[in-house]
């Protein structure tokens, strides 16, 4: 797979993964709550952090496969990637906590 396609695939996967906790009521898309209540915000945040770690690990794996080594990164790299992951999660967050409520109130 060409490197440009791999990077595009990884970025698309990162955006999808960033939105999954806000769009799904199942824990890690597998385990449904027994009481039928929506997931609490804290559980969504933990799931989001786990998905960030998974996407970051996948990116490091792709880097190692493409170059044969991992370039050393300082804390700034991880801060920027975390912020980009948060920006990628914005559509799902807005849908979950703002848009969905407005659509339910308007009867749509």
**31-61 per-position pLDDT tens digit:** 777 887 888 899 999 999 999 999 999 999 9
**75-89 per-position pLDDT tens digit:** 999 999 999 999 999
**What whole-number distance in Å separates Cα of residue 78 and Cα of residue 102?**
35
- Domain that residue 76 falls in: 3-106
Whole-structure pTM value:
0.85
Report yes or no: 18 and 92 within 8 Å, Cβ to Cβ: yes
For the chain, the domain total comes to 1
- What pLDDT score does 108 carry? 65
DSSP 58-89: HHHHHHHHHHSS-----HHHHHHHHHHHHHHT
Please report, rounded to a whole number, the percentage of residues in the chain having pLDDT higher than 70. 98
């Amino acid at each position: 797979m060409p490197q440009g396609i791999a990077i595009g695939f990884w970025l698309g996967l990162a955006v999808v993964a960033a939105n999954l906790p806000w769009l799904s009521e199942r824990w890690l898309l597998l385990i449904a709550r027994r009481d039928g209540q929506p997931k609490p915000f804290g559980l969504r945040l933990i799931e989001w952090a786990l998905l960030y770690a998974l996407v970051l690990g996948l990116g490091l794996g792709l880097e190692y496969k493409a170059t044969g080594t991992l370039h050393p990164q300082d804390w700034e790299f991880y801060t920027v990637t975390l912020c980009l992951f948060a920006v990628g999660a914005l559509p799902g967050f807005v849908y979950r906590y703002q848009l969905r409520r407005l659509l339910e109130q308007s009867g749509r």
